[in-house]
Structure 1
Amino acid sequence: MRRFKMLVFSEPFEGRDVEFDEWYTGRHLDDICALDGFTTAQRFKLHSVSMGSTLNKHLAIYDMETDDPDWVIENMFAHRDTEAMPIHPAFNLDATTVMLYEEATGLVLAKDRP
């Protein structure tokens, strides 16, 4: 089975950070993981920018295992804004980017340090 990471860069509407965070962490991650193909989900908040620029302060990374990633993504979007995956009004979809990356290498671990 092929392995992927789906990265979702997102933003709440201005002044709706608390609602956005509560919904995303308390509901949306579970909704995505309930869909076929997804195995894990985790959220991150921007700490700093060392090079370049960014438009989004929020990142969610989802692990996916499937031989048909296009179907998994189509299925996810088919469930968007349904009872199985409601979208909170604090979530600014216009400021959202979704990208899918296929695993190209195995995981590299740090070597023991003296």
Structure 2
Amino acid sequence: MTAVTRLIVGETECQAQFEAEPTAFRWIFYREGTNVWIRLLELARGSDHDNKGTEIWSTQQDNDVVARAVIRCFDEVVSEDIEGTYRGKWGEHFPRTELEDLRTAWREHRGD
């Protein structure tokens, strides 16, 4: 969510990574105007350089579409009352602050 928030407020490139030890999945975001290009790489190790990864998915979307999709997914977690068991499953508290930061940024920067 933090990477998408950074895109919405105007950054042109950012990344997020999910560890599936030892494998890692790296999301690479590029923004130009209102367009966002997303690449998803699978890496043998999280410390590997992008060029060692295998691209398993890519897309080009409007930044508004990306923000709405991420917000919708996390809102679904809340609506299904999964938030209460989130920490037990993922070892972290539900990212409520990050979700609200993204929602606020999206509302303030729609159409940028």
TM over 0.5: no
- In the superposition, the TM-score normalised over structure 2's length comes to 0.28
| More strand per residue | 2
Flag the structure with more relative contact order, 1 or 2, with Cα contacts below 8 A and sequence separation at least 6.
1
